[in-house]
């Protein structure tokens, strides 16, 4: 327990940096909505309106992803972070992924709120927020581990010119990534079977305005 506390204390600046980077992505994504042209906004509004009507009526165009499709999306993102953490040149890529994740969420929520105001926010709270309350921390923890591992390689091999084995840090890094993978697989079940049901609770409010 004590080593874990020391590790957490040492990595606190990294956690803060990665979290701020993600939040900057969210803000940037939300601001991107305002940059859309009038035609793009109309197309987006039409698409969202058709989507909500389809969800409300149980149309064929609303086909929730299967469990393995949802899990694969999260695991691919996690796997890419893990791979980038294995090399020094992959360090900027990890930070870019965290920023892009924030942009995607910010843009999605911004579109919903921009088009449907409080109803869009309510839909975002039931369709986007619940599983991301677990997914985002899991990915940020994996990102910090990846950045820390990559920085460890730089310090030991490049700056200090040490030739010690990297087996123990690698196993620790990989073990944490596997743990986050299990977390993501668990939350994928919620996203697969619970989130679509919650979406159908809210869509009637929005679909009425889209008819």
Q: pLDDT tens digit string along 14-69?
A: 999 999 999 999 999 999 998 888 888 888 888 887 777 777 776 555 667 899 99
Residue 84: per-residue pLDDT: 95
Query: Tell me: the pLDDT tens digits for 118-167?
Result: 888 999 999 999 999 999 999 999 999 999 998 888 877 665 555 556 67
DSSP conformational letter for 84? H
**146/80 Cα distance (integer angstroms):** 10
Dihedral angle of Cα 202, 57, 133, 21, to the nearest 10 degrees: -100
CA distances from 2 to 7, 59, 141 (A): 9, 54, 19
Enumerate the domain spans of the chain: 2-210
What distance in Å separates the CA atoms of residue 43 and residue 57, rounded to the nearest whole number?
Answer: 21
Cα(29)–Cα(100) distance, integer angstroms:
9
Contact 192, 131 (CB under 8 A): no
Which of 138, 112, 132 lies closest to 123 in space, CA to CA? 112
Could you read off the pLDDT of 78-110 as tens digits, one per residue?
A: 999 999 999 878 889 999 999 999 999 999 999
Q: Which residue has the higher pLDDT, 210 or 46?
A: 46
Q: How far apart are CA 61 and CA 68, in angstroms?
A: 20
DSSP 34-72: HTS-HHHHHHHHHHHHHHHHHHHHT-TT--PPPHHHHHH
pTM above 0.85, yes or no: yes
Beta carbons within 8 Å of 158's beta carbon, 6+ residues apart = 88
Which pLDDT score is estimated for 1?
45
């Amino acid at each position: 327990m004590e080593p874990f506390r020391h590790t957490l204390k040492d990595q606190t600046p990294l956690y803060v940096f990665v979290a701020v980077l993600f939040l900057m992505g969210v803000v940037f994504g939300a601001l991107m909505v305002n940059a859309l042209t009038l035609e793009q906004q109309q197309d987006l509004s039409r698409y969202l309106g058709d989507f909500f009507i389809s969800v409300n009526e149980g149309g064929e165009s609303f086909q929730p992803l299967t469990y393995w499709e949802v899990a694969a999306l999260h695991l691919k993102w996690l796997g890419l972070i893990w791979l980038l953490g294995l090399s020094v040149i992959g360090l900027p890529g990890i930070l870019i992924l965290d920023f892009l994740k924030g942009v995607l969420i910010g843009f999605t929520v911004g579109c919903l709120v921009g088009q449907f105001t409080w109803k869009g926010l309510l839909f975002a709270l039931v369709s986007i927020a619940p599983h991301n309350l677990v997914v985002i921390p899991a990915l940020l923890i994996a990102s910090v581990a990846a950045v820390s591992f990559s920085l460890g390689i730089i310090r030991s091999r490049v700056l200090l010119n040490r030739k010690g084995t990297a087996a123990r840090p690698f196993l620790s890094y990989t073990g944490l990534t596997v743990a986050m993978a299990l977390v993501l697989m668990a939350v994928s079940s919620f996203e697969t079977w619970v989130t679509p049901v919650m979406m159908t609770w809210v869509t009637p409010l929005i679909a009425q305005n889209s008819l």
